[in-house]
A and B are shown apart, each in its own frame.
Chain A
């Protein structure tokens, strides 16, 4: 059973609007969460992270929200730009070591000009 779920395989948003990507997890031991971005023919790159002691982390246009009671996190991109079109992977770990990270299946975001 998947421990990290991204129930929307794809999402389309108009340029300038908000993109909201959602992620749910099942393992209550997870205490560190990350988002990665992946362009075609490239490897994933780290985007933003959040520790379980926080409920929000912001980096420029990107904000991650964590709701521990619901075991849910979301990535908000405001405003969305065409260059944001990519696959976004949610990931979670118990601890901050890379060998413990579990990835979700990804959401493909298309930002329409």
Chain B
């Protein structure tokens, strides 16, 4: 089954404690992205990657890092989480650039205390 998986699905942490949210896709897609969804703001792109070792900043990259060492994985790293990073995070992948072809993961709900 074609899918994008994210782990963990729920996470409560404290300010400053480094964390990683993993994202993996089994469709051999070139393109992957991370988004955050906040009430009243919709989804905003954090980072995206168009191929292995190629990453670019989205609209809200501050406080986040990513890496793309393998095609299937695109982890999101919060080196020093802060309460304003409390959000719902989605990973997505697509074969091409067309937004209609994006598969979104189920989301990771993060609470930073």
Contacts and interface: CB of A to CB of B under 8 A. Distances in A.
A associates with B? yes
Nearest to A106: B42
A4 B99 CA distance: 16
A105 B41 contact: yes
Given A43-B92, A43-B106, A43-B107, A104 B99 contact: no
Contacts of A46: 99-102
Interface stretch (A13-21, A64-72, A78-86, A90-98): A90-98
Contacts of B11: none
Contact of A43 (B56, B58, B104): B104
Contacts, number: 67
B105 interface: yes
B43 A44 contact: yes
Interface residues of A, number: 24
B44 interface: yes
A2 B4 CA distance: 29
A98 B33 contact: yes
Given A4-B42, A96-B98, A44 B90 contact: yes
A101 B99 CA distance: 8
Given A96-B97, A97-B99, A43 B4 contact: yes
A30 to B, nearest CB: 13
B42 A98 contact: no
B106 A98 contact: no
Nearest to A45: B104
Given A41-B107, A43-B107, A44-B90, A98 B41 contact: no
A97 B94 CA distance: 11
Interface string B73-113: 00000000000000000101010011111111111000000
